[in-house]
Structure 1
Amino acid sequence: MDKKLLKISGLESRVEEEEILNGINLEVNKGELHVIMGPNGAGKSTLANVLMGHPEHQITKGEIEFEGEKINDLAVDKRAKKGIFLSFQYPQEIPGVTVENFLRTAKTATTGEQQSIFDFKFLLEEKMDLLNIDQSYADRYLNKGFSGGEKKKNEILQMAVLEPKLAILDETDSGLDVDATKTVAEGIKKLASADNAMIIITHHNQILDYLKPDFVHVLVDGKIAKSGDMSLAEKIEKEGYAEYKEQILNESNC
């Protein structure tokens, strides 16, 4: 069975006239958990948006292949239907739309199959039980009055319901306390399998202590400066990004 899922080759992008990504190369296989770290403004969220097909982000060079198919020109909804999921760093409130209705609509859109109210309710309750989320949560308006931790748990619930092949989680742990971070990490672990892959974008090591990623990548100035394992994240926590900033600067001056 082919385990190749995502291949990024020489990816460059810009927003308006500003160049952001400067030659990203990355391969992600099924069953893998990749972490992308880097200083503010390095291009981490930009990479997530480009992979999802955000219209404001223009690919100027390189290719994105998903399951062997070039998807550079695919719209966001087409990428979602192929099994790519992006969690939001700052989830939006949608008053008047319940969590259950939102998720049922999203499931219908991504699968192309109308979701029975009763069948979907059973599916949702099953996923909420898996993630230890109270059933009353389904009747609340999407993110309305939610705490930071609840908003991030809702993103994990969306991932559980949509069952993507590739989940990109953009700073899912941002602003969370220790207990909420652990809860989110446990949810991610429960949803990881040999048939999917995840890319976690983070500033912090705390969530990595729970997840134990397969690969850690350091993104600086729109390029991956270094790839390694969990020991690389531990080194960054102690020493910061100065070494990798200097490395990219030297490469640019060559």
Structure 2
Amino acid sequence: MLKIENLHATVDGKEILKGISLAIAPGEIHAIMGPNGSGKSTLSYVLAGRPGYEVTAGSATFDGKDLLALEPHERAAAGIFLGFQYPVEIPGVSNVQFLRTALNAQRRARGQLDLSAGDFLRLSREQADKLGLSMDMMKRHVNVGFSGGEKKRNEMVQMGIIDPRLAILDETDSGLDIDALRVVGDGINRIMRKPDKAVLLITHYQRLLDIVRPDFVHVLAGGRIVRSGGPELAHELEREGYAEIAA
């Protein structure tokens, strides 16, 4: 599904990614862990096509197509979803307005008909109920006045409605209490743990991985993947930290 080969990228002229190679097959969940400043968020932004992140070498393909040649909206229409570490607020735009516009834009790009207002409201109510958000909150402006946990749950509702093929989740567990962590982790499993979907999950902590249970864990340090393993690697990092691995 996603294949990254020797990917190098710079931000403001500074090289951050220094040769990332990674392959994610359908049905797999990959976790990336690593110290602050190692390039984890940069990798997510490069894959999503955020402006200001320049790829200087290497390649990334999605379903065999050149991902880096696509505009951000084209990557979204192809089935890629980016979950932010700090979800932004969009005053003046309601959740339902934002999501219906985004979903129908993607459906049109795929040659599908727009979802009617009634069908969309039923879908959004179903997803919101599963993530513990009321429809009153769905009608509020995007993330405005939401707590940290509500913003992350709202992002999971967005993911459930958009129904991507590949979810890139940048520290989705950041700022969550124990209850919210369980809700978000269960949401990832429910929406994305399917044979035709995949997840690239960026996190600092093993606690989320106890819920999501990745197939592979990778350690990113100094702009490179320095070690890969199974779920047991996350427990090792929790016990011993990054000092030995990242040295």
**Length-normalised TM-score, structure 1:** 0.92
Residue 185 of structure 2 corresponds to 185
Residue 139 of structure 1 corresponds to 139
Moved more, 122-131 or 138-147: 122-131
Moved more, 68-77 or 157-166: 68-77
Confirm or deny that 1:59 pairs with 2:48: no
Structure 2 CA distance for aligned equivalents of residues 21 and 34 of structure 1: 18
Confirm or deny that 1:101 pairs with 2:107: no
Residue 251 of structure 1 corresponds to none
Confirm or deny that 1:31 pairs with 2:32: no
Structure 2 CA distance for aligned equivalents of residues 111 and 217 of structure 1: 33
**Length-normalised TM-score, structure 2:** 0.95
Shift, 1:115, TM fit: 3.2
Structure 1 CA distance for aligned equivalents of residues 214 and 132 of structure 2: 23
From 8, 12, 15, the equivalent of 2:11 is: 15
Residue 64 of structure 2 corresponds to 68
Residue 78 of structure 1 corresponds to 74
Structure 2 CA distance for aligned equivalents of residues 130 and 30 of structure 1: 24
Q: Secondary structure at the residue paired with 1:194?
A: coil
Shift, 1:199, TM fit: 0.8
Structure 2 CA distance for aligned equivalents of residues 173 and 116 of structure 1: 33
Shift, 1:94, TM fit: 1.4
Structure 2 CA distance for aligned equivalents of residues 242 and 171 of structure 1: 20
| Amino acid of the structure 1 residue aligned with 2:85 | Q
Q: Deviations over 1:187-234 (max 9, x none)?
A: 111112111101110011111111111110000011000111111011
Shift, 1:140, TM fit: 1.5
Q: Which runs of 5+ in 2 are unaligned?
A: none
**RMSD after superposition:** 1.1
Residue 152 of structure 2 corresponds to 152
Structure 1 CA distance for aligned equivalents of residues 49 and 92 of structure 2: 28
Residue 207 of structure 1 corresponds to 208
| Amino acid of the structure 2 residue aligned with 1:170 | D
Moved more, 111-120 or 173-182: 111-120
Structure 2 CA distance for aligned equivalents of residues 69 and 135 of structure 1: 38
Shift, 1:73, TM fit: 1.9
- Matched-pair identity in %: 50
Residue 116 of structure 1 corresponds to 116
Confirm or deny that 1:49 pairs with 2:45: yes
Q: Which runs of 5+ in 1 are unaligned?
A: 247-254
Large movers: runs of 4+ above 4 Å: none
Structure 1 CA distance for aligned equivalents of residues 79 and 213 of structure 2: 24
| Amino acid of the structure 1 residue aligned with 2:124 | L
Shift, 1:35, TM fit: 0.4
